[in-house]
Amino acid sequence: MNKECSLTTSQEDNILCLRFSGSWTIRDKQCQQLDLNKILLGKIQGLTFNTTDLTKWDSRMLVTLVNVIQTANAKSIPVHEEGLPAGIRNLLQLTRKKVLTPPQNRTNNAGFFTFIGLQSSIFVKQVLQHLAFTGKIFLSYMRFYSGQARFLKRDLSYFLFDCGPKALPIVTLIAFLVGFTLAFIGAVQLQMFGADIFVANLVGLTMVREMGPMMAAIIMAGRTGAAFAAQLGTMQVNEEIDALQTMGLNPFDFLVLPRMTALVIMMPMLAVWADLVGILGGFFIGVFSLDISPNLYFQQTVKAIHLNHFMVGIIKSFFFGYIIAFCGCLKGMSCGRSADAVGKSTTSAVVSSIVFIVIADALFTFFFNLIGI
């Protein structure tokens, strides 16, 4: 029944007739394509169609026709559509109807310099956005201290619990393994000098000054920073933030304040916990692999670490907490209104907080070195 589709041409008095026959649907086998530019050459003064042998058609045929007609139009050859089935004629009519004109896309086909210019202006905008956000946080805390900020106490306690106790298992695991690894690598080197006992110094100082706060911060950036961005982003998509605003509640006080406060309070505590667990990891290697007596390892650690070193870690982690909450909330609050935008803002919250944490860490190390702590 279904004859294979074919397209043949015949010419009479400079009028070209395209003859469609068989079944022209997207499920049929590929049929031969005509090289339109060759056929519609020079002398042809009209194009007609013959579809008497056409058994079936769908958008496959329509696409071919659209191409033919466009080429013919480009060569100003008049097209007579009378030979086509009424359905096809209607559909062709519909494709030609210009209902809506898309707005001009200014970034399209832009040159290299336009691209550079656009990217720089985006960068400047982002810097300004960060500054504005810092200002808003400051104002929000001013309202907090003067008792005017409206937020739910329940939210604050929820986030305190979420950023603190709930994060302990993962922080414990990572910090223990970092201490463990540090001790292992240090031991191999120090054994060469017979200075095994200094593993305690190495692990203690590195954990307390650097790795404790840093590892805790990186875990929290991935765990909590991302969650903040996703929560606020989704609220933005669902118009929940608009609803707060029109109700006269400041979304900043209501949403950002409890999150930031909770993280800034909890971060130093997590860092101290990570320090201790990391030292425990080193202790484990020192005692079981290097045969240092537990008492001696303990004494050596206590001798190596001063309160100052703890303070360095605590100050750092305080700022790390701020950075994570800042990036998470900023990306969430400035999220677009689609599912895709939520994904982007979550990723960018994690990436930017880790970048800022590492930069801040380097600056702090330099600064503390300068003042001799």
Partner 1 sequence: MTDQTPLIEVKNLTMAYGDFIIQKDITFSVIKGSILTIMGESGCGKSTLLRHLTGLKSPAAGNIFFSGTDFWHCSHKTQVQLLQRCGVLYQSGALWSSMSIGENIALPLRQFTKLSQDEIHDLVELKLALVGLKGFSDYLPAAISGGMRKRAGLARAIALDPDILFFDEPSAGLDPISSSMLDDLILELRDSLGATVIIVTHELPSIFALADDSIFLDTESRTMLATGDPKILATESDSIKVRKFLSRNSSSFKNGAHSS
Which chain residues interact with partner 1 by CB under 8 A?
Answer: 97-99, 103, 150, 152, 234-235, 238-240, 242-249
Q: Residue 321: name the closest of 252, 272, 371, 278 by CA.
A: 272
Burial 28-61 (b: 16+ CB within 10 A, else e): beebeebebeebbeeebeebbbebeebebbbebb
Dist CA 331 CA 327 (whole Å) = 6
CB of 214 or CB of 227, closer to partner 1: 227
CB of 351 to partner 1, least distance (A): 26
20 to 7, 63, 187, 350: CA distances (angstroms): 5, 13, 83, 59
CB of 211 or CB of 260, closer to partner 1: 260
48 to 6, 11, 51, 69, 289: CA distances (angstroms): 16, 10, 10, 10, 91
Within 8 A by CB and 6+ apart from 68, the residues are 18, 36, 47
CB of 102 or CB of 111, closer to partner 1: 102
CB of 117 to partner 1, least distance (A): 16
Q: What is the amino acid identity at position 294?
A: P
CB of 67 to partner 1, least distance (A): 25
Dist CA 271 CA 284 (whole Å) = 20
CB of 27 or CB of 98, closer to partner 1: 98
CB of 157 to partner 1, least distance (A): 14
Contact 282, 190 (CB under 8 A): no
Within 8 A by CB and 6+ apart from 27, the residues are none
CB of 139 to partner 1, least distance (A): 11
CB of 240 to partner 1, least distance (A): 5
CB of 12 or CB of 340, closer to partner 1: 340
CB of 29 or CB of 97, closer to partner 1: 97
CB of 162 to partner 1, least distance (A): 12
Q: Residue 11: name the closest of 34, 40, 32, 31 by CA.
A: 40
CB of 149 or CB of 174, closer to partner 1: 149
